Amino acid sequence: MLRLIEYAPRSAAMNMALDEVLFEAFNGGAVLRTYTWDKGYTTVGYFQKNNCGGVRRLTGGLTVNHKDDISYSFISSSECWRFVYNENETYKTLHTAIRKAVSEIGFETSFLENKTGAANNICVQTLCESDLMYQGRKVVGSCMRRRGNKILVQGSIHIPLSEKQKKIFHNIFAKELADFMNLEILSKDFTEDEIKIAETIAKEKYANDKWNFK
């Protein structure tokens, strides 16, 4: 079963905490969550030096500025996701599903053909294999955390979408992944317990300088 969680605007600390709750409690199948932000935030990769005051993610990758993007988290294990130990194929497969979803709402993206430009700390300014491009700029990038045979992937789609377009994207993205894994979709929002646990983690961890500047 692919558990699908509806998008909603939340703070960076709460978004990161909810992803952690899902990752820690994961027990099979797959989980897909798309989400937005209640204002502008910056997140930094787990291994980065935090020079911008952003919220540290559980996943790696580079600095991402969030505001009007729609982001996602994907969780699965080797039971359903055969690319658990292959980052490039994981990103390529997820980004292929994203590409199809945004195409349905009128945005024709393409995979990066040639890596150009020097790498820096900003995700959308650093071009990597399997990134998606739109009108000459990077609009989709992702990062990953693996623990044993399960993975958490977080990514952002930097294309301004209307509420109607977000809904279409959300559903098509889920359908593409469910078809790929041969799973049925179960729409199931967060439980009260999940929200309460995430609120505690958000306060004690992702809103805490000890974590963010470690």
Q: Could you count the other beta carbons within 10 Å of the beta carbon of residue 146? A: 16
Residue 152 lies in a domain: yes
Q: Could you tell me the strand order of the sheet in which 55-56 lies?
A: 55-56, 41-44, 64-66
Residue 30 lies in a domain: yes
Decide if 42 contacts 54 (C-beta within 8 A). yes
What is the distance between the alpha carbons of residues 141 and 158, in angstroms, rounded to a whole number? 9
Mean per-residue pLDDT, 131-142: 92
Cβ partners under 8 Å of residue 54, min gap 6: 12, 41, 42, 43, 44, 63, 212
Exposure on the CB side of residue 124, measured as CA atoms within 13 A? 18
Average pLDDT in the chain: 93
pLDDT > 80? residue 128: no
What is the distance between the alpha carbons of residues 80 and 183, in angstroms, rounded to a whole number? 9
Cα 199 from chain centroid (whole Å): 19
pLDDT at 119: 55
pLDDT at 136: 87
pLDDT at 121: 59
* 55-90 tens-digit pLDDT: 999 999 889 999 999 999 999 999 999 999 999 999
**Is residue 195 packed enough to be buried (19+ CB in 10 Å), middle (13-18) or exposed (0-12)?**
middle
Structure tokens at 12: 């960076």
Helices assigned H by DSSP within 62-206: 87-103, 163-181, 192-201
Per DSSP, which regions of the chain are E strands? Answer: 2-5, 9-10, 30-37, 41-44, 55-56, 64-66, 70-77, 110-111, 132-134, 137-147, 150-157, 185-187
Residue 211 lies in a domain: no
pLDDT at 8: 86
Residue 213 lies in a domain: no
Cα 75 from chain centroid (whole Å): 10
Mean per-residue pLDDT, 158-165: 94
pLDDT at 165: 96
Q: In 3D, which of 150, 186, 200 has the Cα closest to residue 18?
A: 200
pLDDT at 116: 53
Domain limits for position 194: 2-206
Q: Domain tally for the chain?
A: 1
Residue 212 lies in a domain: no
* 20-64 tens-digit pLDDT: 999 999 999 999 999 999 999 999 999 999 989 999 999 998 899
Single pTM value for the model: 0.93
Residue 15 lies in a domain: yes
Decide if 95 contacts 130 (C-beta within 8 A). yes
Residue 214 lies in a domain: no
pLDDT > 50? residue 118: no
Q: For the domain that residue 25 is a member of, what is the CATH number? A: 3.30.930.10
